[in-house]
Structure formats: C-alpha cells, structure tokens
Amino acid sequence: MKKFWKFGMSAGLAAVLLAGCGGEDAANEEQQIETPAEPPTEVAEAEFPVTLVDATGEEVVIEEEPQAIVSMIPSNTEIAYELGLGEKIVGVSDFDNYPEETADVEKIGGMEFNVEKIISLEPDIVFAHESGLGAGTEGLDQLTEAGLTVFVVDNAESFEEVYDTITVIGQATGATEEADAIVQQMEVQVNEISEQASNVEETKSVFVEVGSDPEIYTTGSGTFMDEMLQIINAENVAGDQEGWVSMDPEAIVAADPEVIVTTEGGYIENAEEMIKTRSGFAEVTAVEEDAVYSVDADPVNRPGPRLTEGLLELARAVYPEVFSE
C-alpha cells in the first residue's frame, strides 16, 4: 500500500498561494531593469561534505554533491532550476508549474505526498519545507529512516530571507557561486525598482485580493506583497493586520482603495469584473477609476527568484505612469 502523508496548508489556501497561474492586465510593456554581468563560466568545484542547519534546528550532513534531487514545494523547485540544477531534479510536487520542464518530472504528490514514490526515486537529497512541518513530519521521518537526506528549508517571509534560502540551497547542492550571482541580481533589481518608485508624487492606497471564496482574503504585514507595496511606495489598506487575513467587503469599501489588485485572474474567469460588480463596490475609488488589475499569483507569492518579476508587475499595475515608460 502506498503511504501518503499530508504536507503543507489547507486545500483552499494552497489554491490561493500555490496554484495561481498568470494575470495579463496592468501594463504589459517590457521594463528595462539592469542586471549584473553574467557569472563566470568556470565555477570552482564545491567542497563536500557540507553541514547545514535546517528549519527543524537539526544539523544535516550532505556527504557528496547531490546528483538526484526531490523538491517538495514549488519555490524550492524554482530556486533549484535557476541554480542550473534542472537535470538533477527527479521529483517535484503536484503544484509545480514553473519552469515548463517541471511538467515532465515525476510528481510526488501535493499536500499529501507519496513516501514510497519519493524513496523509489533514490534522491541524494529531498528539499522539504517548514510550512509542511506538523501534519507531514511523520512522512519526513519515514524518508529519513529509509536512509534519505532530508533538508527542511526555512519559511521565507521577506526578500532578505529569500536571499538566505537561495544561498543555503546553493550550499547544499554545490551551486554556491550561482546562488551568489542570483542574489546579487535580485538585489540590483529591487534597488532599481525602489529608486524608480521614489519618483511617485502621490502615494496610492491598494487592496490586494488573494482569495474570494468563501471569504475575501488579503495580504497584511509580514507578507511578500506587503513588502512589495512598501518598496514601490504604496499603502496597503490591510497593512495594520498580520499575515493572510479575511476582510469583510464592507471594510474594503470603507477603506476606499485607489487601486485593487487580484491574484486570482489565472484561475477565475473575469476576476476583475467580479470585483467591479460586487455589491457596494461601485463607489470604491478603484472601481470608479477602472483601476482594478490582475497580476500573476506565483511571482508575487512564491519565495524564489521570480519575486523581482512580481515586484515589477505590481509596480506597473499600481503606478503605470511611473513604470510603463
């Protein structure tokens, strides 16, 4: 009998945070963001064994450079591919949708992962995630007992913590120089977007809708989208709340945001129109001024290299007059 273990968040929140697929609204012009020079083609050979402390506080010893990798969450997968490890990835979660190559990689399950499938893939390292601790811990213990090296990646809630995640995955896989180059590139992009945002003359208030059924969910402080709004010099109308929170429609109307951004456009048809026609929303400034936009959920939610893309897309939606030149 196959053994499945629960891993991660509830199905509803998983759909919001993991399965979002792309929005096309806001400005679509290419924004020129400078990046550092390409990393050197000759990369020094990494030294193993490597000992790292994971999210559980345990020391994990990686004896040799991994040649077969299982990633249990999309953000880890995106980091691994960006590090140039695509050919080594033998298993990914059911939620993985980027890059396109993940469609051809063996799937190991989603919130409920298949222990026996992972073991059969004979990975040298399994990248789990802190968000899966709790319900999935017993399954991770099964993997460890089977002799697999399991590294639980810390939950990242800021750009700085994402930089740390990229660095540690690079250390665990022997891709340290590649990791450094990615972090440097992201830092340059964030700084340039922030500098461009300094040209904003009048700060706009923004409501971000990340879920609408059965309740409307938004993003408060301590989330990537809140940090992004700060970077682009915008006000989050839910910034006085913490984490992912539900917000009553009447409270949204009372907040009267100048811009509404939805991340549901990739999997809900006419997500913007649904918001515009919602009862009581006709007098909201964002609706009156037709400033309701859809952005791709994954780059603004997943703690990985595409966060800077999400930051720029959000900036274009909120301040097209500044970021569409």
Q: Three-class SS of residue 113?
A: strand
H or E stretch including 131?
A: none
219 with 299, same domain: the answer is yes
Report the mean per-residue pLDDT for the chain: 88
Last residue of a domain, one of 153, 183, 213: 183
- Residues 161 and 210 reside in one and the same domain: no
Distance CA(298)–CA(224), nearest Å, equals 11
Please, which pLDDT band fits residue 317 given cuts at 50, 70 and 90? Answer: very high
pLDDT band, very low/low/confident/very high, at 26 (cuts 50, 70, 90): very low
Domain that holds residue 67: 50-183
- The amino acid present at 21, given as its one-letter code, is C
Q: What one-letter code names the amino acid at 93? A: S
- 173 shares its domain with 288: no
Residue 126 sits in the same domain as residue 168: yes
By mean pLDDT, which of 128-137, 185-194, 301-310 is the weakest? Answer: 128-137
Instruction: Note whether 251 and 313 are same-domain residues.
Output: yes
Contact 303, 164 (CB under 8 A): no
Which two three-digit tokens encode residue 117? Answer: 């499938």
Does 241 lie in the same domain as 147? no
Contacts of 187 (CB under 8 A, 6+ apart): 163
Say if 15 falls within a structural domain.
no
- Count of domains observed in the chain: 2
Q: pLDDT for 249-269, tens place per residue? A: 999 999 999 999 999 988 888
Helix (H, G, I), strand (E, B) or coil at 270: coil
- Give the mean pLDDT of 92-107: 96
Domain membership of residue 121 (yes or no) is yes
Residue 135 burial (10 A CB sphere; 0-12, 13-18, 19+): middle
Residue 124 and residue 66 in contact, taking contact as beta carbons nearer than 8 Å? yes
- Model-level pTM? 0.86
